[in-house]
Amino acid sequence: MDIKNEILWRIYLVALLFILFAVGIFVKTAQIQFVEGEKWRAHADSLYVDLRPVSADRGNIYSDDGSLLATSLPTFDVRMDCKSEAMSDELFTQYVDTLAHCLATLKDSPYTAGGYKRRLTQARQKGERYLLIKKKVEYPEMERIRTFPLYNLGKYKGGLIVERRSDRQRPFRMLAQRTIGYVREDIKPVGLEGAFDNVLAGEQGQRLMQRIAGGTWIPVHDLTEIEPKNGKDIVTTLNVNIQDITEDALYKAILHHDADHGCAIVMEVATGKIKAIANIGHDSEGDLWETYNYAVGESTEPGSTMKLAAMLALLEDGYVAPEDSINLDFGRMEFAGETMEDATNHRLGKATVQTAFEISSNVGIANMVYQYYRRADREEQFINHLKKFNLDKKTGIEIEGEGEPYIKEVGEDNWSAITSTWMSTGYELRLTPLQMLTFYNGVANDGKIMKPYMVEKIEEYGNEIEKFEPQVTQRRMASSATIDKVQDMLAGVVERGTARKIKLGNFRMAGKTGTAITNYRKGIPANQRKYQASFVGYFPAEQPKYSCIVVIRHPKQNGIYGGHVAAPVFREIANRCFAAHVDLHDPINAEPKPAPIAVADLPRIYTGYTDDLETSLVHLDLPVRSRTAGAWAGAQVQRDSLELRRRRITRNTVPDVRGMGMRDAMYLLGNEGLRVKVKGIGRVTTQSIKPGTPTQGQTVFLDLKL
């Protein structure tokens, strides 16, 4: 019994010891957790350091002439460790007033000197270790901040924390914004930034960071332990001037026609290089902006621009010739129970194939396709032509989001007896503007289809790393004879057809108008129809340099048809490109030297500064003799040449300025203290005060005529 009690006593003693030990652990845990928790957490934070990733600077994006389209500029976030162990209370109190005053002088400072002092003092009392002073500080301002009192004592005594960031900038702002694109967290990459992210992004570096309360990481040093490797640069095919011309013309058209959105592309014919790509739509606030890349991504029924493909097939198969006569039935015809009408009342019962194409007759084109391709064995033949033109394939442009083309296959569930007929006028199929332009560019390029592309090369520190060459995707879309015929027909559209209003005198253009009803379901009244207006072509017509497409979706005023809405935009782009690019102009000495001028064609009289007259007349290769040593002279016809005769100018008298240009006349009259009023342009024909009259500060009225 005694042995049993002794054993129990020992068990109880051991149990009591375990209980006391457990209570002690619990008390100590509670003390650490609740009483000393903040102290030990701060201590743990100060001991927890790690190498954290540091982003590299993204590479630059350049235009074809070296202009910056996108670049990365370094900016800095300035913060303060108000609980830095090396910063004593005496040191903080000594400098807080002058530091607050200096911070208040920063650009766009949100606080006064007093406000900064209160903010810094409160942060010191709360022990904040990551107080934001200012975000996105540029380098010169950051260097100035380093000199501020307290901060100039260094990271530990002054508590200054500087975090370097890379801020993406576009010097030309909206210019090609959607095409250049962006890369952001949790958002699908867009444009060239997204497509070439692996090239532009570079390689991350590493930096020793310290974790503080709240899980925030702050840098231990200002410098990185492992430097990031900056991204490479890409040089695009985009031309800043052509891009600006294209965007400006499209922007004005969207406003003028109160359209929903639109796009325009300019491509180099021989290479497929995209020189400009513009997209204008409405943002969430209703303002015009580049919100979506319609040129690449929007696949729609194109309308009458598709008639070129139908005509190319008909001519290639030898079913028709441009001079053949076809039935237009005055613009209204029935096919398999469905009625088709022309957009305009042309009042033609018959016309040549060429004329039907130039006036964009739906009935004319559809009638030929219905007549020659409605047989089952020929429907496949027609579709195969469209495939040969690459209209069933994506272009393979570098950027993401290209819309899917849709060309119906014979035998599909929705194929009907008139599907090929309607396809010939641009319905029951879908194409993006870029895909349609690539097809037309092939016609301009004598039948060779080029792959469109926007990046010419990749560079690193100015050295070429990789170059992208033009690629041919279809070497021969039709015979040379057929291509020549459709090129003439496209030029005829501008010369005599639906685009004749955009005809210019200094160079020729070729192309095709297109108008598509986008909500043509039965039951929709005519006044509620919505339209897509387009024009696609190339210039100059004889030796094409650029091809261009303009598509404007749902215009609401000032016209709805392609010839009225989209074609003028094409004309403005072509005209301004032609004027701005010397390589599109013929050399002035390309033609043989003209025959000598006839005496009757010599100018009757011209008066001006003698040296200027002699230089001009010699440059124009006009026969001239000089019989004067004076500063001013007049040119007069003498038999087979011009003779320069002295024009005397006497001081303090009204000079004779008849026959002079305005600049010379103003110079002479102004030298005599006379006031001048001018009417007209050209040369002075009459002056109100007789030459030789003494000058008294009078006003002389001049009449000028060309």
pLDDT at 600: 47
Span 583-600, average pLDDT = 61
**Tens digit of pLDDT for each residue in 635-651?**
666 655 667 777 778 88
Where do the H-state alpha helices sit in 129-274?
A: 139-146, 155-158, 177-180, 191-195, 197-200, 240-257
- CATH code for 244-584? 3.40.710.10
- CATH architecture of the domain with residue range 599-705: 2-Layer Sandwich (3.30)
Question: pLDDT grade, residue 217 (50/70/90)?
Answer: low
Span 645-674, average pLDDT = 83
Residue of 224 and 404 predicted with greater confidence = 404
Of 690, 679, 704, 680, whose CA–CA distance to 607 is shortest?
704
Residue of 281 and 219 predicted with greater confidence = 281
**Is 549 within 8 Å of 532 (Cβ atoms)?**
no
Span 387-395, average pLDDT = 97
Span 364-388, average pLDDT = 93
Alpha-carbon distance 362 to 357, whole Å?
Answer: 9
Of 158, 163, 134, whose CA–CA distance to 84 is shortest?
158
Span 55-59, average pLDDT = 81
Q: CB 497: neighbour CB atoms within 10 A?
A: 22
pLDDT at 50: 61
pLDDT at 159: 87
pLDDT at 237: 97
pLDDT at 387: 97
Span 616-634, average pLDDT = 68
Q: CB 18: neighbour CB atoms within 10 A?
A: 10
Of 254, 332, 248, whose CA–CA distance to 559 is shortest?
254
Alpha-carbon distance 185 to 369, whole Å?
Answer: 51
pLDDT at 545: 96
Of 520, 554, 509, 519, whose CA–CA distance to 534 is shortest?
554
Using the predicted structure, report yes or no on whether residue 39 has a pLDDT greater than 90. no
Alpha-carbon distance 485 to 691, whole Å?
Answer: 66
Query: Rounded to the nearest 5 degrees, what angle is found at the Cα of 223, between the Cα atoms of 219 and 227?
Result: 110
**Tens digit of pLDDT for each residue in 289-305?**
888 999 999 999 999 99
Span 408-435, average pLDDT = 94
Cα 338 to Cα 36, 379, 380, 411: the distances in Å are: 88, 18, 22, 20
* Low-confidence winner among 102-106, 221-225, 643-647 (lowest mean pLDDT): 221-225
Residue of 353 and 643 predicted with greater confidence = 353
- Of the chain, the percentage scoring pLDDT greater than 90 comes to 53
Residue 162 is encoded by which pair of tokens?
A: 């500087």
Of 694, 367, 279, 301, whose CA–CA distance to 530 is shortest?
301
**Tens digit of pLDDT for each residue in 522-550?**
667 878 899 999 999 999 999 999 999 99
Of 670, 677, 678, whose CA–CA distance to 695 is shortest?
670
Average pLDDT score, the chain: 87
Alpha-carbon distance 328 to 173, whole Å?
Answer: 50
Question: pLDDT grade, residue 31 (50/70/90)?
Answer: confident
Alpha-carbon distance 32 to 301, whole Å?
Answer: 73
**Is 113 within 8 Å of 104 (Cβ atoms)?**
yes
Span 147-160, average pLDDT = 87
Q: Which residues pair with 229 in a beta bridge?
A: 203
* Low-confidence winner among 42-46, 321-325, 570-574 (lowest mean pLDDT): 42-46
Of 659, 308, 227, 672, whose CA–CA distance to 477 is shortest?
308
**Tens digit of pLDDT for each residue in 171-203?**
887 788 889 998 887 788 899 999 999 999 887
* Low-confidence winner among 178-182, 384-388, 440-444, 573-577 (lowest mean pLDDT): 178-182
**Tens digit of pLDDT for each residue in 115-125?**
999 999 999 99
Question: Model pTM greater than 0.75?
Answer: no
Of 287, 426, 458, whose CA–CA distance to 360 is shortest?
426
pLDDT at 114: 92
Of 396, 191, 398, whose CA–CA distance to 279 is shortest?
191
Question: pLDDT grade, residue 599 (50/70/90)?
Answer: very low
**Is 535 within 8 Å of 549 (Cβ atoms)?**
yes
Q: Which of 283-287, 347-351, 451-455 has the highest mean pLDDT?
A: 451-455
Using the predicted structure, report yes or no on whether residue 358 has a pLDDT greater than 90. yes
